[in-house]
Amino acid sequence: MVEVKDKPSVDTNGRRQEQMLTPDSLVMSYGEDEPLALDCGVDLAQYSIAYQTYGTLNADKSNAVIVCHALTGDQHVANVHPVTGKPGWWETMVGPGKPIDTNRFFVICANHIGGCLGSTGPSSVNPGTGRAYGLDFPVITIRDMVRAQAHLVDRLGIKDLFCVVGGSMGGMQVLEWAATYKDRVFAAIPIATAARHSSQNIAFHEVGRQAVMADPDWRGGRYIDEGTQPRKGLAVARMAAHITYLSDEALHRKFGRNLQDRDRVTFGFDADFQVESYLRHQGYTFVDRFDANSYLYMTRAMDYFDLAADHGGDLAEAFKGTETRFCCVSFTSDWLFPTEEMRTVVQALNAVAANVSFVEIETDKGHDAFLLDEPELFDAVSGFLSAAAQKRGLEPNDHEI
Amino acid sequence: MTVQPTSVQATRVDLLLLAEMVDPGSRVLDVGCGDGALLRILAETRDVDGRGIELSQSGVNQCVARGLSVVQGDADTDLVNYPDDAFDFAILSQTIQATHRPLEVLDQLLRIGKRAIVSFPNFGHWKIRRQLMFRGRMPVTENLSYAWYDTPNIHFCTIKDFIVLCRDLDAKVERSIALNAQGQRMGLGIPLFMQNLFGEQAIFLLSR
């Protein structure tokens, strides 16, 4: 049976807090003279972005790829994670000889502004008060995250990107990049995402946030100052969210109604079923690697995302004049970001005669499929990127010759 | 990716003849692009900026994995999304007979393409007429091998029928080619009734 831990794992939790302050990543810092102008109207002065890079930037700086991470992801795409010790979250996709081939491309992944693994966020110290921001941190939008990435790219001396790629919340950023920085994105791969967060998705996020805020240890968001941590609330939020990442079929295939280390139900509220035990495990391991307030801010950013609304209610207007090549990917069993949402994006792209590919992949793995071993996903991404690289005049790497 | 002439040589003659109608370097939409065979020929021989729409998801996924820009979509419903004159050529290769509303599809094709190219099997071919005449059964031929109850081809026409459709839609026939059973172009100056009798398929270049 999975141990229900309501005490922090000292190692993981300690490492996380260490990574928050002094990340094992590259860090780009911006002073008071170059604030980040946020959608909420606040200029965020003195902020930092923690990021990882893989591969080598070529001489004419034309092979840069930005990978945008999802809600609870981070910059450690393709290296051992400094907190959990697990492989990078997209090592199946990014690396030498992988679809996003680091022998060929220079891959950048930044921890989002508002995140909790080295980039400035609600758990960072507010220079104005000397204490953690907590809820004084300004609300961040998807466009703010993209803006921060654009500043990072500027600092790295890269004019335009070969590709921007990401799934889920990362996919929202891909769409935002393509809409806001049209002439800086040669190719875009939005995966398992949508041009707006649906009412149902906002509803799920609200459940998660309320769970965090209902935890007495949340302390109105001041838990860092008070030396507590809303572990139970955040774990429940993660449990609820995790259900939305899987499909009914996948849950049934994995667990069915199987009992956890017992022959019969206990007529109590212990984790009788394997699926309960699994969810508890997901919840309690999550809280060791993620900050509760960051979770509130990240989910809010997704809720606020509505690309059409930002362009007079017409999604096609967002992409008007685009010369970016798009490869849109959805999964049949993803009910969080169903194919219909992606089809809306594709229709908008068709309405401006954009260069677009659209692949729907048959799988029962639900929304999480974009992170898993899906050969058709890899084939689509590598086929699309090879053709795009050829158009861009990027030389094939040694492995291809 | 390099140009592989061998792959082109091995492909169907009708696709090569169709490709000849496409100006080099133009923007092309192939509606019903299947596994992308025509798009690849067009990319390799005419250097086009090519896109495709394909109904079957497996066809789409194959195309994208080969680096072609293809979306899953339905010719009957999805052409309305494209703006006017979005492409230099909108192509419907061996697909019109499988659409639910051929007239509307052709109308859309002429709207989104400055020119349209349509190829289709000719149901007026003598072998088809013979089967219906002497066997009294729905024709099944080498090229049209489906039984009536499971064929995706629900709107057959003859070359003459197609010319009438073009007239109804105010489409100008800029060029037309009939292909014989070997897939070769039939000689110039052959009267229409002969083309309609001996042509196994036809390719039309249209504008409006």
Provide the residue ranges of all domains of chain A, joining segments of one domain with +.
Answer: 10-400
Give the pLDDT confidence score for residue B10 in this predicted structure. Answer: 46
User: Quick one: residue A254, left, alpha or beta (phi over 0 = left, psi -120 to 50 = alpha)?
Assistant: alpha
Q: How near does any CA of chain B get to the CA of A13, in Å? A: 42
Residue A100 has pLDDT above 50, yes or no: yes
Report chain B's mean pLDDT, rounded to a whole number.
Answer: 91
> Are the beta carbons of B67 and A346 separated by less than 8 Å?
no
Strand partners, B175: B205
Alpha helices in chain B (DSSP H): 5-9, 13-20, 37-46, 57-65, 75-78, 102-112, 126-130, 159-168, 192-198
**Residues of chain A positioned with their CB less than 8 A from the CB of B71:** 328, 346, 350, 356-358
Q: Does residue B12 register a pLDDT over 90?
A: no
Q: Which of B65, B66, B86 sits opposite A353 (nearest CB)?
A: B86
Question: Catalytic site residue A112?
Answer: no
| Domain A10-400, CATH | 3.40.50.1820
Position A397 scores a pLDDT of 58
Residue B68: pLDDT band (50, 70, 90) is: very high
Shortest Cα distance from A161 to chain B (angstroms)?
19
Res B189: pLDDT: 81
Nearest to A143 by CA among A218, A63, A52, A40: A40
Per the CB < 8 Å rule, is A358 touching B60?
Answer: yes
Contacts of A357 in chain B (CB under 8 A): 60, 63-64, 68-71
Q: Could you report the predicted ipTM of this complex, rounded to two decimals? A: 0.86
SS3 A144: helix
Span A268-306, pLDDT tens digits: 999 999 999 999 999 999 999 999 999 999 999 999 999
pLDDT at B86: 95
Q: Each residue of B134-185: pLDDT tens digit?
A: 999 999 988 888 999 999 999 999 999 999 999 999 999 999 999 988 888 8
Over residues B63-91, mean pLDDT? 95
| Residue A60 bears catalytic tag | no
In this predicted structure, the answer to whether residue A175 has a pLDDT above a threshold of 80 is yes
Under DSSP, is residue A143 helix (H, G, I), strand (E, B) or coil?
Answer: helix
Q: Give CATH for domain B5-122+154-207.
A: 3.40.50.150
* A234-264: pLDDT as tens digits: 999 999 999 999 999 999 999 999 999 999 9
Assess whether pLDDT exceeds 80 at residue A8.
no
Mean pLDDT of chain A: 94
Q: What percent of chain A has pLDDT over 90?
A: 93
Query: For residue B96, with 0-12 CB atoms within 10 Å meaning exposed, 13-18 middle and 19 or more buried, which class applies?
Result: buried
Q: Which residues of B touch A355 (CB under 8 A)?
A: 49, 51, 69
Return the pLDDT at A6.
56
pLDDT of residue A401: 40
Q: Which of A66, A74, A318, A58 is nearest to A184 (CA)?
A: A66
Neighbouring C-alpha atoms within 13 Å toward the C-beta of B188:
1
Asked if A397 reaches chain B (Cβ–Cβ under 8 Å), the answer is no
Give the model's pLDDT for residue A347: 96
Compare all CA atoms of chain A with the CA of B51 and give the residue at the minimum distance.
Answer: A355
Closest-CA residue in chain B for A324? Answer: B69
Tally of CA atoms within 13 A in the half-sphere of A117 that contains its CB:
27
Residue B9 has pLDDT above 90, yes or no: no
A237 vs A212: CA distance, rounded Å: 7
pLDDT tens for A11-64 read: 788 888 888 888 999 999 999 999 999 999 999 999 999 999 999 999 999 999
Q: Give the per-residue pLDDT at A312.
A: 97
- A395–chain B Cβ distance below 8 A for any pair: no
**CB within 8 Å of chain B, chain A residues 354-383:** 355-362, 376, 379-380, 382-383
Contact A380 B61 (CB under 8 A): yes
Interface A:B, Cβ pairs < 8 A: 72
